[in-house]
Amino acid sequence: MFNLKEIISSIADVGQKLFKKNEIKKNDLDSIISLCDDLISNKGAAFGITVARNITDLYQTLSPENKLLFFKKINEKFKPNHTKVGEAIETYKKTQNDKNLYNLFIVSEGKRRELFRRMNMSPNGISTIVSLREDLLKILNENKELQSLDEDLRELFKSWFNPGFLKLEKITWDTKAAVLEKIMKYERVHEIKNMDELKRRLGEDRRFFSYFHPALEDEPIIFVQVALTNGLGRSIQELTKPRSDGEKKYDSATFYSISNCQEGLSRVTLGNFLIKRVVYEIQEELPNIKNFGTLSPIPGFRKWFQSQNENKIKVILGKLPYESVSFLKLADLKIGDTRIATNKGSITKLVAHYLANEKNQKQRPINDVCRFHLGNGAIIDDIIINANVSEVGFNRSFGVMVNYLYELKNIEKNHEDYINNKRIIVSDRLKKFI
């Protein structure tokens, strides 16, 4: 079978013979900007592939300082021409037809997206562009003027990494070693410390699925880990330790870790379709599994709580005493402090409020994990005290985790309700806490 990258590389090699520029030096900002001009202006396929390869190769040699200057230059150089946009608007107002509408779209988009589209012709185009956005995200907070450049990349990635292009693969102990090593590296929720632990997470009572992109060989995009359980999992320690009971009669699938492997794909929605695909895969393989849900972290809860004043916490608690949670602000609070379990009701009320009532400017939950699962059609099912008594779990949320429940018959309805009406659905058991 022909390798697409090899074919593109051979075309680039032929095109290189037509390429008349002087030898390109590493970390050469002027050269890479000049190449971008060539790429945008020339329509020849062979020449374009050659130039795109030279750009992606040269980009990887740029220093952090020159990468910043590169971003600033292409952001300004290839932005929409406001004068032409205004003219296109007036033309469309005078004659509202498809031709003028299309021209308005083209001039309003500018040339930044087209530059990246053509860079993607390079044999390693898509991997370099993902890496490029990762570099951009690191400096975006200090360079707000580059926000539009980031939005251009994000919009392109929504198309390039559309779930229709992605391949779902089941990960097993027989999967390529290169892939397994990357999975260990990319796990961001519950660290995989060694190969023995990875083998455990690929055991008979586990399922592990990952999305791959055809242009990124052996490079996981996002993956999900699932534990087969009786009832939804209520302790990450129990889910990750070896089983000794030989239990085979499971009725539930607990999603306990979802990791986006590529920082450059941040804020590009991938996980929603992944969960639904995995649900169908498990249903087909194991029809006895009837319940699907998560044991999810609550990143940011501890930070949120410690930033709130006493009066607000008292209002949230209602009739419950402030002293039942005030100890959580103590600097010397230790992992597994017995007061956390003793005051389960008060802490549950706080967490339930945080997830369901604390909103961002778009009137969505401020907690990003909560937004993710509600957007997928889940409901907030239960809040679990001491579900993760590790240092990470304690720092996130005092060890508290949450079960999100995917009721198969209601997933789509819940999704639509959340997206269109901003409705947050909680289980009957939690309603009394909100």
Active site (catalytic) residues: 296, 373
Contact 420, 377 (CB under 8 A): no
How many Cα atoms sit within 13 Å of 400 on the Cβ side? 26
DSSP assignment letter at 229: E
SS (H, E, C) 79-129: CCCHHHHHHHHHHHHHCCCHHHHHHHHHHHHCCHHHHHHHHCCCCCHHHHH
Give me 341's structure tokens: 């379990």
Give the CA distances from residue 399 to residues 74, 193, 330, 348, 393, in Å, rounded to whole numbers and listed in that order.
Answer: 45, 20, 15, 12, 5
Give me 77's structure tokens: 């150089």
Closest CA to 375 of 340, 330, 406, 333: 406
Q: What distance in Å separates the CA atoms of residue 351 and residue 369, rounded to the nearest whole number?
A: 13
**Owner of token pair 């002087």:** 22
Contact 161, 273 (CB under 8 A): no
User: How does DSSP assign 376-402, residue by residue?
Assistant: TT-EEEEEETTS--SHHHHHHHTT-EE
Give the CA distances from residue 254 to residues 208, 402, 403, in Å, rounded to whole numbers and listed in that order.
Answer: 12, 12, 9
How do 206-212 and 291-294 pair as beta strands? Answer: unpaired
Give me 196's structure tokens: 């023995």
Closest CA to 185 of 215, 216, 220: 220
Sheet of 252-260, strands arranged across: 167-170, 206-212, 220-229, 252-260, 291-294, 401-406, 379-384
Contacts 24+ apart (CB under 8 A), 407-411: 407/379, 408/279, 408/292, 410/377, 410/379, 411/276, 411/376, 411/377, 411/378
How do 291-294 and 401-406 pair as beta strands? Answer: antiparallel
Give the CA distances from residue 107 to residues 72, 89, 159, 199, in Å, rounded to whole numbers and listed in that order.
Answer: 20, 10, 20, 53
